[in-house]
Chain A
């Protein structure tokens, strides 16, 4: 990346805003976002992340991007994972372990069924809309 000018920054922002809204990451339409703050990692988020990658690979699913984010604030149910699949509500799962990760892929991503007992919610409004 070269150093950018003001105009280029603005252009970049517009582009990326679209991308972020669509969550369109290089042709992938779905996203699994793992909360990788210290709290998440301490609770096993790394294992969960690995398991997601493993299961997606096993199932040969290529339209799902696995990314990380910081603490979602729901520390009491770490590790937390947000799953965004077209046609389904964006869902935050809590207390996710490897087994649950596997189930999320099989059930939520493939079967389009939410995984009972692990759904928590987005904790707050987003000020960017305010």
Chain B
């Protein structure tokens, strides 16, 4: 595809000119970048020549964006809509009845073990000025409902985790397609020259389907999600294995020898890009651990997120949410959070719904609410799109006696932040929360809406591969107008 092919000529400064001007050599250039300002945004504006040309260089959007970054809160396993945000009193009324009689014809389920209609084990209350119903599973998020737009009528095309995950992440129920974060990077580039444009904060659970949920598929590898692990060194090979001085001396040698070779061959775009990458990589060694170092955050902030929560999963997810905010501050385009390990299963309660959902909810509730509040008070919420979403929902009737099976026919997702009309709810499900009654959406529509808020027309973001122009939304997708501010 040759994304690097023309960079050399388009670059306002050639590498050679750059280095001539910065006589201190490689380490000097990179270090100057690092020390040029407190915030990374300033750094970009002060050292534009190096980074504006690569595949991750910022690109113009199709129209004015409402949000600059996405935080995608992926709820692995499929949280139950009727136990969280889609309150259905009729489940109480028909509790224990045969769902074939109460609800009517049932679709096939993954495990085909159909129990009785099952009321939610949790109480629902109304919150905020909007009066949104939220169950006791989410007492903290409940405090933020006036900043949230719920979509009660999301649907998936697949009832099984792996395909549904690929569908949610790539718009196709198969392996090997570019993830939505990769599409965003391809469409918009990155605002930060020291960090990847698409970061996955791994809470501990890689979703079924594996890392291909975050891959670049046929898009160039530059757009693939970088998996940030927990701990001080979140990225593979980002930690030098030698002293800073030694590395700098080595890279200075490499730089001078590379330059001699480039001179000898008469200049070459690919070679020059490869040299440039060393500068970015060098900065990443500093920027990534700096990002992960939260020692400078106030105690109030740490408490808000729940960093010291006695529940380990909550503390883990709190840290991820805080890192998400720090990534947003640094201009990273797409941030996805995966769920922490909670001891039992992820949100996939085929049995023992009560304990399983409670365990999962307690891990994410406080950190998510803190993320919304924290972004809001700094004004960043206005330019950040938060999406809360599983790959499908769960059946209103039991699987066995106390679980719920997968339900792709209707489930709740929510969005908050830039361009989102808070305190709203879109779509209605039937009286059991089983299927869509009115205003049906699917994952393509979610993708179209997310792209729209980022300033991209989903029908115009295409990539030619294997003889056709591919889109994240394939030939589908319409905006979920009701959530737009």
A binds B: no
Interface residues of A, Cβ cutoff 8 Å to B:
none
